[in-house]
């Protein structure tokens, strides 16, 4: 039997431009594995690679950091992993273990991280190499297409919510009902919070209810802060919509000691009134992804509570269309590329 010597990958040809190419299959280096990719989510953070001008002479980069597949080769020194095992790779795919953050146990804020699809080739491809230390175990009964977005969008929202200090029964508001927000509402409801969804337009009310929100606030016609204060104030607001003005108007709706947790990155500043922070002891913090263990716990919780992303799937050769639609916010709600699988996300 003859095995192929090349694989298909999508690379960044120029800022904003993707190209499908053939590349030779390589053996994993020490500490690495080679993954036969089943699915890869298309995330807004991919734009940091896709819209960037590549350094002169540098190899064209493969984007993508929501990767699910199976191990097909092990590099020297890799232990605890086996051929055929189902794995995922998220945004943070390795740490230097020597910077001040790592030495203090804060590997999420490593100063020299391996970032999938940015510092190393990612998952817009049929095959990818990954550091074994960055692998996430993926349950077999989660489809590849549904598991992929959980490795970044799911992890980001799940980890931010469970570490925000809210307790079961507290009012927790999700600002935004997009790729991050539609997962955050599900997580918040299943964590036992009184869940409020905030978005713009009456047309989103039904979706918010279907996802589990107890209350929908239409920011087009309602005073967001007043609506939250009528509920006693939000213990936590999770900012998932990339609008600085929208996030800022939630701060007055926080309960005393309440917290706005920012996970989306708006293009403009978040303008705050110091009075709203000082009186009530309110805080604004950011949250960035999580560890491989956090990622495995995200998948486990999603599996236990039947939390799933709403997705649109695309074949690898339509990566440009998938990326463009994601950037125009036309996807409901996560775009996923499928490779080596059928249209249902099952490995072919």
Dump the DSSP string for 66-130.
-EEEEEEEE-TT--S--TT-EEEE-SB----S-SHHHHTT-GGG-SS--BBTTTB--SSBSEEEE
pLDDT for 333 beyond 60: yes
Measured distance CA(268)–CA(239) in Å, rounded: 14
- Residues 205-223 have pLDDT tens digits of 999 999 999 999 999 999 9
Q: Is the pLDDT of residue 230 over 50?
A: yes
Report the distance separating Cα 264 and Cα 55, nearest Å. 27
Mean pLDDT of 315-331: 97
What is the predicted pLDDT for the residue at 340?
Answer: 78
* Per-residue pLDDT at 201: 96
Contacts (Cβ under 8 Å, ≥6 apart) of 27? 34, 73, 75
Instruction: Please determine, for residue 247, whether its predicted confidence score (pLDDT) is greater than 60.
Output: yes
pLDDT score at 342: 57
Looking from the CA of 11 toward its CB, the CA atoms found within 13 Å total 16
Nearest alpha carbon to residue 331 among 309, 311, 345, 317:
311
Closest CA to 90 of 130, 54, 144: 130
For position 172, what pLDDT does the model report? Answer: 98
**Whole-angstrom Cα distance, residue 261 to residue 237?**
6
Task: Find tokens 């230390």 and name the residue.
Answer: 133
Residues 293-322 have a mean pLDDT of 98
Whose tokens are 């092990």? That residue is 74
* Fold match, 6-152+290-338 / 164-286: no
Query: Domain locations in the chain?
Result: 6-152+290-338, 164-286
- Round to whole Å and give the CA distance between 186 and 305: 9
pLDDT band at 345 (very low <50, low <70, confident <90, very high): very low
What's the whole-number mean pLDDT along residues 235-262? Answer: 97
Q: Is 60 exposed, middle or buried (0-12, 13-18, 19+ CB in 10 A)?
A: middle
Other beta carbons within 10 Å of 37: 28
Please compute the mean of the pLDDT values over residues 149-170 and round it to a whole number.
98
- pLDDT tens, position by position, 3-12: 689 999 999 9
Q: What's the pLDDT tens digit per position in 177-201?
A: 999 999 999 999 999 999 999 999 9
CB–CB of 38/87 below 8 Å?
no
The helix (H) or strand (E) run that includes residue 195 is strand 194-199
Instruction: Report whether CATH 3.40.50.720 matches the domain 164-286.
Output: yes
Question: What does the pLDDT look like over 26-71, one tens digit per residue?
Answer: 999 999 999 999 999 999 999 999 999 988 888 899 999 999 999 9
CA–CA distance, 2 with 302 (Å, rounded to integer): 40
Residues in the chain: 348
pLDDT(343) > 80: no
Q: How distant, in Å, are the alpha carbons of 106, 231, 339 from that of 102?
A: 5, 41, 34
CA distance 89 to 91: 7
Q: Quick check: pTM over 0.85?
A: yes
Element (H, E) at 41: strand 32-42
Q: What is the CATH number of domain 6-152+290-338?
A: 3.90.180.10
Q: What's phi and psi for 209, nearest 5 deg? A: -65, -45
């Amino acid at each position: 039997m003859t095995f192929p010597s090349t694989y298909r990958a999508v690379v960044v040809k120029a800022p904003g431009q993707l190209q499908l190419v053939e590349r030779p299959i390589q053996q994993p280096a020490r500490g690495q594995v080679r993954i036969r990719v089943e699915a890869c989510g298309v995330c807004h953070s991919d734009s940091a690679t896709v819209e960037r001008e590549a350094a002169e002479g540098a190899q064209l980069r493969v984007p993508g950091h929501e990767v699910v597949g199976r191990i097909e080769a092990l590099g020297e020194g890799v232990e605890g992993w086996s051929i055929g095992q189902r794995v995922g790779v998220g945004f943070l795919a390795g740490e230097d273990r020597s910077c001040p953050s790592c030495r203090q146990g804060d590997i999420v804020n490593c100063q020299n991280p391996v970032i999938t699809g940015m510092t190393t080739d990612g998952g817009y491809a049929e095959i990818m190499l990954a550091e074994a230390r960055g692998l996430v175990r993926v349950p077999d009964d989660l489809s590849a297409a549904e598991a992929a977005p959980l490795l970044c969008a799911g992890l980001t929202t799940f980890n931010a919510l469970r570490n925000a200090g809210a307790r079961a029964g507290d009012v927790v508001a999700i600002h935004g009902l997009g790729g991050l927000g539609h997962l955050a509402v599900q997580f918040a409801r299943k964590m036992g919070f009184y869940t409020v969804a905030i978005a713009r337009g009456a047309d989103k009310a039904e979706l918010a209810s279907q996802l589990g929100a107890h209350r929908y606030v239409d920011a087009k016609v309602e005073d967001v802060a007043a609506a939250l204060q009528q509920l006693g104030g939000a213990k936590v607001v999770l900012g998932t919509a990339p609008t600085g003005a929208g996030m800022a108007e939630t701060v007055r709706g926080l309960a005393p000691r309440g917290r706005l947790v920012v996970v989306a990155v708006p293009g403009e500043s978040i303008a705050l009134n110091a009075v709203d922070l000082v009186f009530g002891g309110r805080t604004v913090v950011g949250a960035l992804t999580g560890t491989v263990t956090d990622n495995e716990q995200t998948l486990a919780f999603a599996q236990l509570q039947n939390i799933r992303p709403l997705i649109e799937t695309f074949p690898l050769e339509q990566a440009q269309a998938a990326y463009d639609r994601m950037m125009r916010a036309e996807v409901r709600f996560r775009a996923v590329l499928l490779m080596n699988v059928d249209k249902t996300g099952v490995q072919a």
